[in-house]
């Protein structure tokens, strides 16, 4: 009898999961080749901590510290999400397909867990029986509306926003486990689901910090769906214990993320064009922008960046006070409907609760659409319940209204799907996405900055310079950094042409706008090095190392000291660099050269041969080895490696490396006056062998 009772339910679940899978895959099928964008690069493609080459414990553990900010690399950073991105890198490097497959899979799983969670909510004491057995329909319709809505695109198609999607998935799983634990009669089952709830919370926090609100969401669920004025004393005790536990967990979590300083976030306002007060005044208008995107979901409404006028007072712009008043009224509606319309109350209050972190006091960018992925999870539940009630009302009357509602519901779902599919086209390439931003927000600097980079890549330097120049006078969420970035990138264009003095001037201008700017400080050091201004390059390299201690800058200091003919002073820097990154080629080669120049030929040979075995086709390493043997008067060793040199590199390639000053981060450390005559003789000898009969 039990088997007969559960079989149809199981079939309905399988059907629901299958339908969600088809819908999600169909709508996002065009995104498998969507390119990398904006924050993808510092977080993934340029983040060496995520570039797994093996699955050892040490390598995997290192991904837990993969902050895109080098100075924060000693702190744990979103380890759950970062580990999945690192595994993607291990499997496919920069091929975007695997990343999109996982992102879409996460979206599908979230939609499926959402369906199960809504189904559980509709069976709680304060809702049970009100939907006349339509719980499955309401849960599925609400999950489908959420999954196909274009407001979710940024969390799904934007690869790095997997962090937001995973946080929402585990957050939702935590609510589902709480509901299962709360409704379970078995002590073992309750223990399992309570444990799973807590684990889900930490997995959510390990994906993104906005999941910190889960304990409050659980309290909201308890208040709306379980508690009543006449609840028994035991239930009330459980409730207050849950409240106390939730606030304790949130407090400890907050102190952990803020490193014990609850006002640490205020420092972020130093780089923003708005104050805390202005942000609090502006965000109600931003929330109404999000609501307009949800209610009127046409592709023209969406953009990666939005040009938002900052509210400087209650009346400037005039929409500030009405927006704030509107949000208070909506929140009030949610509070007053807790008993009468619990689904509506929960949808409203859950939405506001999960905008508290990213849309209030913290100095983040003002607008990003992916911030709605979590808050909108239950927003479509009252709509789905309302649709079902109206369908039931007109079903038995053979009324055209019934079929009109059916058709309208299908049209809405299809319309949302089409809108999502169309909007996803903008994400196909970097150029298409930022041209979309430029069209919708021509007053922002960011689209000009990114498109200038695109034109630089394709060799249109003049257009790139014009776009960077335009960006200097436009708005940005980080105005100082934006201006410095434009000046820095203009400097890069001139440096690539070999016009180092113009590049140096632009790098200095960037540092005047944004003192201590790491990119400009690094590029200025390289430009001074390449233009032969070694003492000044050394000064800036020292500043880089003291501000942003890492392997790259230690190596740069060592290399400059070699060029200044101070190899003994270079060795300590290079030893530290090699310790930080044992298999990094440049620092190890430079250390070998420094040891050669100080007469430590055996140690130099050991280091360089180790690197040569790891990188057998690297011409620079082979040239350094040859110099080491020549300086130690080991002509046999030099001859052996010269044979390897000509085996891996053409004569033209070797002459090119001997004759050029080197590329950024790959400056050649060998001595031409020693190597050039020897290599020339070897080339002549090989030429004679070719021409003699």
Q: How far apart are CA 142 and CA 379, in angstroms?
A: 8
What is the band of 664 on the pLDDT scale with cuts at 50, 70, 90?
A: very low
pLDDT of residue 281: 94
pLDDT of residue 2: 42
Q: What is the pLDDT of residues 530-568, one digit of tens each?
A: 998 999 999 999 999 998 888 889 999 999 999 899 999
Residue among 501, 444, 505 at smallest CA distance from 478: 444
Q: What is the pLDDT of residues 268-313, one digit of tens each?
A: 787 788 889 999 999 999 999 999 999 999 999 999 999 999 999 9
Any domain includes 42 = no
Half-sphere exposure of 485 (CA within 13 A, CB side): 20
The answer on 453 and 362 residing in a single domain is no
Answer with the residue of higher pLDDT: 330 or 239: 330
pLDDT of residue 69: 78
Structural tokens at position 625:
């080895």
Q: What is the pLDDT of residues 493-512, one digit of tens each?
A: 999 999 999 999 999 999 99
The answer on 263 and 200 residing in a single domain is yes
Tell me what the mean pLDDT of segment 392-419 comes to: 87
Residue 421 predicted with pLDDT over 50: yes
pLDDT of residue 597: 87
The answer on 626 and 572 residing in a single domain is yes
pLDDT of residue 604: 84
The answer on 623 and 517 residing in a single domain is no
The answer on 652 and 593 residing in a single domain is yes
The answer on 536 and 588 residing in a single domain is no
pLDDT of residue 273: 84
What is the band of 665 on the pLDDT scale with cuts at 50, 70, 90?
A: very low
The answer on 663 and 594 residing in a single domain is yes
Mean pLDDT highest for which of 590-594, 646-650, 688-692?
A: 590-594
3-class SS at 316? strand
What is the band of 6 on the pLDDT scale with cuts at 50, 70, 90?
A: very low
Q: What is the pLDDT of residues 243-256, one digit of tens each?
A: 776 666 666 655 55
**Adjacent-strand bridge partners of 475:** 444
Q: How far apart are CA 204 and CA 171, in angstroms?
A: 6
Among 360, 383, 418, give the residue marking a domain's end: 418
pLDDT of residue 102: 97
Contact 419, 150 (CB under 8 A): yes
What is the band of 265 on the pLDDT scale with cuts at 50, 70, 90?
A: low
Any domain includes 461 = yes
Contacts of 479 by beta carbon, 8 Å cutoff, 6+ apart? 273
The answer on 523 and 578 residing in a single domain is no
Range of the domain at 389: 20-36+94-418
Contacts of 102 by beta carbon, 8 Å cutoff, 6+ apart? 84, 88, 162
The answer on 523 and 617 residing in a single domain is no
Contact 297, 150 (CB under 8 A): yes
Q: What is the pLDDT of residues 479-496, one digit of tens each?
A: 899 999 999 999 999 999
Contact 444, 307 (CB under 8 A): yes
Residue 637 predicted with pLDDT over 60: yes
Q: What is the pLDDT of residues 181-224, one digit of tens each?
A: 988 888 899 999 999 999 999 999 999 989 989 999 999 999 99
Structural tokens at position 19:
């339908």
pLDDT of residue 256: 55
Answer with the residue of higher pLDDT: 340 or 132: 340
Contact 646, 566 (CB under 8 A): no
Averaged pLDDT of the chain: 88
Any domain includes 337 = yes
- What are the distances in angstroms from CA 152 to CA 161, 303, 434? 11, 12, 19
Any domain includes 490 = yes
Any domain includes 178 = yes
pLDDT of residue 259: 55
Residue 129 predicted with pLDDT over 50: yes
DSSP class of residue 127 equals T
Residue 680 predicted with pLDDT over 90: no
The answer on 291 and 210 residing in a single domain is yes
pLDDT of residue 541: 93
pLDDT of residue 4: 41
Residue 660 predicted with pLDDT over 90: no
Any domain includes 115 = yes
**Domain holding 495: CATH number?**
1.25.40.10
pLDDT of residue 5: 40
Tell me what the mean pLDDT of segment 56-65 comes to: 89
3-class SS at 662? strand
Structural domains of the chain, count? 3
pLDDT of residue 570: 93
The answer on 414 and 448 residing in a single domain is no
Q: Give percent of the chain above pLDDT 90.
A: 58
Among 384, 418, 452, give the residue marking a domain's end: 418
**Adjacent-strand bridge partners of 662:** 667
Strand 666-667 with 662-663, pairing? antiparallel
- Long-range residue pairs from 601-606, CB within 8 A, at least 24 positions apart, any chain: 601/628, 601/631, 601/632, 604/628, 605/629, 605/632, 605/637
List, in sequence order, every beta strand (DSSP E) within 432-519.
Answer: none
Any domain includes 59 = no
Q: Which H/E stretch holds residue 666?
A: strand 666-667
Contacts of 313 by beta carbon, 8 Å cutoff, 6+ apart? 281, 320
Structural tokens at position 294:
């949800």
As a dihedral over the C-alpha atoms of residue 38, residue 43, residue 46, residue 52, rounded to 10 degrees, the angle is -140
Residue 60 predicted with pLDDT over 80: yes
DSSP letter string, 10-27:
HHHHHHHHHHHHHHHHHH
Any domain includes 5 = no
Residue 239 predicted with pLDDT over 80: no
pLDDT of residue 448: 95
DSSP class of residue 72 equals G
Tell me what the mean pLDDT of segment 424-435 comes to: 94
Contacts of 586 by beta carbon, 8 Å cutoff, 6+ apart? 555, 559, 665, 666
The answer on 306 and 255 residing in a single domain is yes
pLDDT of residue 139: 95
């Amino acid at each position: 009898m039990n088997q007969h009772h559960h079989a149809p339910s199981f079939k309905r679940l399988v059907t629901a999961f299958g339908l969600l899978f088809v819908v999600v895959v169909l709508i996002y099928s065009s995104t498998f080749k969507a390119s990398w964008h904006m924050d993808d690069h510092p977080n993934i493609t340029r983040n060496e901590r995520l570039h797994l080459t093996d699955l050892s414990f040490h390598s995997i553990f290192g991904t837990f510290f993969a902050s895109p900010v080098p100075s924060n690399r000693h702190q744990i950073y979103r380890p759950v999400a970062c580990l999945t991105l690192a595994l993607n890198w291990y499997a496919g490097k920069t091929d975007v397909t695997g990343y999109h497959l996982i992102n879409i899979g996460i979206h599908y799983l979230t939609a499926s867990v959402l369906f199960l969670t809504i189904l559980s909510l509709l069976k709680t004491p304060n809702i049970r029986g009100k939907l006349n057995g339509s719980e499955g329909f309401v849960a599925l319709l609400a999950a489908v509306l959420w999954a196909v809505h274009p407001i979710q695109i940024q969390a799904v198609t934007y690869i790095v926003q997997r962090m937001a999607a995973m946080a929402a998935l585990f957050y939702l799983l935590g609510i589902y486990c709480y509901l299962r634990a709360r409704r379970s009669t078995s002590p073992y089952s309750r223990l399992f689901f309570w444990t799973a709830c807590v684990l889900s919370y930490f997995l959510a926090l390990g994906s993104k910090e906005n999941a910190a609100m889960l304990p409050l969401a659980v309290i909201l669920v308890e208040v709306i769906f379980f508690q009543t004025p006449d609840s028994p004393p035991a239930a009330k005790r459980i409730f207050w214990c849950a409240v106390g536990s939730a606030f304790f967990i949130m407090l400890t979590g907050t102190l952990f993320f803020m490193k014990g300083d609850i006002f640490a976030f205020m420092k972020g306002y130093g780089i923003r064009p708005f104050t805390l007060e202005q942000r609090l005044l502006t965000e109600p208008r931003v929330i109404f922008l999000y609501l307009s995107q949800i209610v009127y979901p046409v592709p023209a409404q969406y953009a990666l960046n939005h040009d938002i006028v900052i509210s400087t007072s209650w009346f400037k712009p005039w929409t500030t006070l009405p927006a704030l008043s509107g949000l208070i009224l909506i929140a009030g509606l949610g509070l007053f409907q807790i008993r009468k319309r619990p689904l509506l109350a929960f949808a409203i209050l859950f939405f506001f609760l999960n905008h508290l972190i990213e849309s209030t006091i913290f100095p983040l960018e003002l607008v990003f659409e992916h911030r709605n992925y979590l808050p909108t999870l239950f927003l479509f539940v009252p709509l789905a319940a309302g649709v079902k009630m109206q369908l039931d009302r007109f079903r038995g009357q053979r009324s055209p209204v019934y079929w009109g509602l059916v058709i309208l519901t299908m049209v809405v779902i299809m319309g949302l799907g089409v809108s999502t599919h169309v909007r996803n086209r903008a994400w196909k390439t970097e150029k298409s996405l930022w041209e979309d931003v430029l069209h919708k927000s021509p007053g922002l600097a960011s689209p000009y900055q990114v498109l200038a980079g695109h034109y630089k890549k394709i060799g249109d330097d003049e257009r790139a310079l014009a776009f960077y120049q335009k960006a200097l006078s436009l708005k940005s969420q980080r105005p100082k950094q934006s201006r410095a970035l434009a000046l820095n990138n203009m400097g890069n264009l001139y440096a690539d042409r070999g016009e180092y003095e113009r590049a140096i001037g632009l790098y200095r201008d960037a540092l005047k706008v944004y003192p201590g700017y790491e990119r400009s400080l690094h590029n200025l050091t390289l430009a001074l090095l390449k233009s032969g201004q070694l003492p000044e390059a050394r000064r800036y390299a020292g500043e880089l190392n003291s501000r942003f201690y890492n392997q790259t800058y230690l190596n740069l200091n060592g290399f400059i000291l070699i060029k200044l003919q101070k190899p003994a002073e270079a060795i300590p820097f290079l030893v530290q660099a090699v310790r930080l990154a044992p298999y990094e080629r440049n620092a190890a080669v430079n250390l070998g050269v420094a040891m050669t120049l100080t007469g430590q030929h055996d140690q130099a040979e050991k280091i360089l041969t180790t690197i040569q075995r790891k990188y057998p086709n690297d011409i620079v390493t082979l040239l350094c080895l040859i110099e080491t043997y020549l300086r130690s008067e080991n002509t046999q060793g030099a001859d052996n490696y010269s044979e390897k040199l000509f085996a891996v590199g053409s004569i033209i390639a070797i002459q090119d490396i001997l004759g050029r000053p080197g590329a950024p981060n790959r400056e050649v450390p060998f001595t031409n006056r020693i190597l050039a005559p020897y290599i020339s003789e070897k080339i002549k000898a090989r030429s004679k062998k070719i021409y003699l009969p």
